[in-house]
Amino acid sequence: MAQINTRYVNLVNHETGKTYDIHTPQTYCTEHNEPLVAQYNLQKPLNKGILQNRPFNMWRYKELLPLWDDQYIVSLCEGFSPILEMKNLEKKYAFGQLLMKDEAGNPTGSFKARGLGMAVSKAYELGIRSFSIPTAGNAGSALSAYCAKGNLEAHIYMPKATPKMFQLDCKIMGATVNVIDGNISDCGKAMRADNGDAKWWDVTTLKEPFRLEGKKTMGYEIAEQLNWKLPDVIIYPTGGGTGLIGIWKAFQEMKELGWIKEIPTRMVAVQTVGCNPIVQAFNANLTSATPYEDPGVTIANGLRVPHAFGHKLILKTIYDSNGMAIDVTETEIINALNEFATNEGHFLSPEGAAVWHAAKSLRSSGWIKDNEHVVLLNTGSGYKYAENLWD
């Protein structure tokens, strides 16, 4: 028997406060060109004891997700990725505690399963059956998989420089794959040109409200897995930035619910030197980022995002958490990937390797202090990037 969730109550422009009808499909605030954010009735008591005996996937937090009726869930058992102790590197670099939340075990090998699983499920509930997305790789893989599971239609637009494994991943799931000579912004332009009559639901990062809700479950999991005591620092690879924003959103919701007492966490956004609009904005103390011109090619495909639609929300998250934005070079990513593998036995994604180098830099500078607890986010499997890494 389906269970009905009545806590999801609003979609709001995060800057103006303007609300939107939640009973019809919504994308973003076209008047102000800003994302819409889901809100919930958090005043109604909800004890975290509800989690006992529930399956260990992201839907264990279903009261705090925007689906009304759980019969529309399209799931591949995404979420509840492990948090692992990195004892060897913790000792080597004198961290107080060094942990890694490893998203590589999600369906199609990355954290994108959370956002796309949520977005597809909610769109399915709203009667949508065809989807499109510009992607650096992992998001396209995830959309293709969830559309296959739900007998839905997927149209994928990805840069020519994307490893062929990602193209295969999408094609084998039955998606229509369009390879574009350019970066992810160019893919978005090509997709919009082909979708002029809006026949496909556009699930571009933060151009619809629900991928964010799936990504935020990482925040709920981090709290639950650490016995409801949050870490001092979370370091996150930031292209579109949905996960960074989502984790912080989850922390705010949990505090309002009374599930956690305080939020000591400082959020760190990691980018590459060749495409670092958030870092540039942060260093200039700006609240918005300028689109990055001519982003350099990187082995960390997910970080080659010249202009994140949610750039204001990314920067707000960093500032509100007293966090940091930092960039790394290609050589630093490769060296970090090798170091992590030889010391901890994990083949990180290049984005995860960027996170590890950032952690070392912040520890060396003293920004991460002696006794602080740090969580690294490895957002996907390194094996899917083998083409980028092969000598």
Residue extents of the structural domains in the chain: 83-108+211-389
Least confident piece of the model among 156-170, 275-289, 343-357: 156-170
Least confident piece of the model among 67-71, 163-167, 175-179, 285-289: 163-167
The model's confidence at residue 166, banded by pLDDT at 50, 70 and 90, is: very high
Separation between Cα atoms, residue 9 and residue 12, nearest integer Å: 10
Q: What is the pLDDT averaged over residues 139-154?
A: 98
CA dihedral 282, 284, 285, 289 (to 10 degrees): -60
Which pLDDT belongs to residue 18? 96
Which pLDDT belongs to residue 2? 64
Residue with tokens 């769109």: 123
Report the Cα 300 to chain-centroid distance in Å.
Answer: 15
- Is the pLDDT confidence value at 184 over 70? yes
Chain segment 23-72, per-residue pLDDT in tens:
999 999 999 999 999 999 999 999 999 999 999 999 999 999 999 999 99
Which pLDDT belongs to residue 231? 98
Which pLDDT belongs to residue 228? 98
Phi, psi of 155 (to 5 degrees): -125, 115
Which pLDDT belongs to residue 388? 79
Residue 161 in contact with residue 297, Cβ under 8 Å?
A: yes
Which pLDDT belongs to residue 294? 87
Which pLDDT belongs to residue 24? 95
Report the DSSP beta bridge partners of residue 376.
100, 235
Separation between Cα atoms, residue 36 and residue 210, nearest integer Å: 9
The model's confidence at residue 391, banded by pLDDT at 50, 70 and 90, is: low
User: Quick one: fold of 83-108+211-389?
Assistant: Rossmann fold (3.40.50)
**DSSP category for residue 77:** -
Vertex 381 angle, CA 364 and 82, to 5°: 75
pTM equals: 0.96
SS3 content of the chain, % helix, strand, coil (to 5): 40, 20, 40
Rounded to the nearest 10 degrees, what angle do helices 242-257 and 311-320 cross at?
Answer: 50
Separation between Cα atoms, residue 136 and residue 157, nearest integer Å: 9
Kindly state the tokens that stand for 110: 């990355």
Separation between Cα atoms, residue 323 and residue 40, nearest integer Å: 26
For the chain, percent of residues with pLDDT exceeding 90: 93
Helix (H) / strand (E) containing 374: strand 373-378
**DSSP category for residue 361:** H
